[in-house]
A and B are shown apart, each in its own frame.
Chain A
Amino acid sequence: MSIKVNLDIVLVERNMKSKELAEIIGITTANLSILKSGKAKAIRFSTLEAICKALDCQPSDILEYIED
């Protein structure tokens, strides 16, 4: 997919674990893992908003467009 999810990089920068983020934003670790691995087909604005709020970042920090 041409949209890359850089969530793991931002998590490392913020020194936060996936489990903590999942608890803060209220999704399961399994779903967060799907999002991190790039298997997710779509992301809700509410989820994106919660992630940005929890990690204090912009959507562009998490999502990156890569041309095929």
Chain B
Amino acid sequence: MKNYTTPILILFLFLVIAIIGNITISAIGLFFNHDVFNTGVYANGYEASLNIKLIFMAKAFALLMFIYSVYILIRNLKFLVRRDFFNNKLVQCFSKSGKLFFFSGIVGFLASICGILNIAIIKDFGSQAYLNIDSKSLYIMLMILGFFLLLFSKVLDKGNEIQQENDLTI
């Protein structure tokens, strides 16, 4: 497990750069009405409505929450490396990141649905480029992962209790 720590950290760094970079470039395009980096994706002079800006912010918030929950998991990797599974901190970490994964999944999924409805009802096709900072299936995966982590934290908590009982049996 120890050998995997560095590749996991490098992957996390790539993930952070990709997500924050994507959000930043889209945000500049959306809020300054200008394709600053000449990506060709964003239309110059496009004036986004308040709906689109709110949906974008909700999606960005969900993605940032996703990064934070992955960070919590990575920060507590040391317990898994030491094979110290029955540990209160690990249980809390899984529980916290599980809730964050689940919540970010719900927020992102609802924002995606609102984005699709916005395009379908208002026919604001120019907003598509700004709302494509993520993949729709990512949020469903996040919800499943969050639910799994929450369940796993409950199992670890029960295991922790049994381990303590075993240690205190004389």
Chain A interfacial positions (CB closer than 8 Å to B): 27, 31-32, 34-35, 39-44, 47
- Residues of chain B with a CB closer than 8 A to A39's CB: 168
Q: Mark B142-169, 1 if CB is under 8 A from A, else 0.
A: 0000000000000000000000110011
Interface size on B, residues (CB 8 A): 5
Number of A-B contacts (CB under 8 A): 23
Whole-angstrom distance between the alpha carbons of A60 and B170 in the complex?
17
**Nearest B residue to A43, CB-CB:** B170
Whole-angstrom distance between the alpha carbons of A35 and B169 in the complex?
9
**Nearest A residue to B161, CB-CB:** A41
Whole-angstrom distance between the alpha carbons of A32 and B170 in the complex?
8
- Residues of chain A with a CB closer than 8 A to B169's CB: 40-44
Contact of B165 among A27, A34, A42 (CB under 8 A): A42
Whole-angstrom distance between the alpha carbons of A31 and B167 in the complex?
9
**Nearest B residue to A35, CB-CB:** B170
Chain B 103-126 residues near chain A, CB threshold 8 A: none
Whole-angstrom distance between the alpha carbons of A43 and B164 in the complex?
14
8 residue pairs A–B, Cβ–Cβ below 8 Å: A34-B168, A35-B170, A40-B169, A41-B165, A42-B168, A42-B170, A43-B170, A44-B170
Whole-angstrom distance between the alpha carbons of A52 and B78 in the complex?
44
- Residues of chain B with a CB closer than 8 A to A34's CB: 168, 170
Whole-angstrom distance between the alpha carbons of A43 and B169 in the complex?
5
**Nearest B residue to A25, CB-CB:** B170
Q: A39-B168, A41-B165, A41-B169 are in contact. List 4 more A-B contacts (CB 8 A).
A: A40-B169, A41-B164, A43-B170, A44-B169
Q: How far is the CB of B96 from chain A (nearest CB, A)?
A: 28
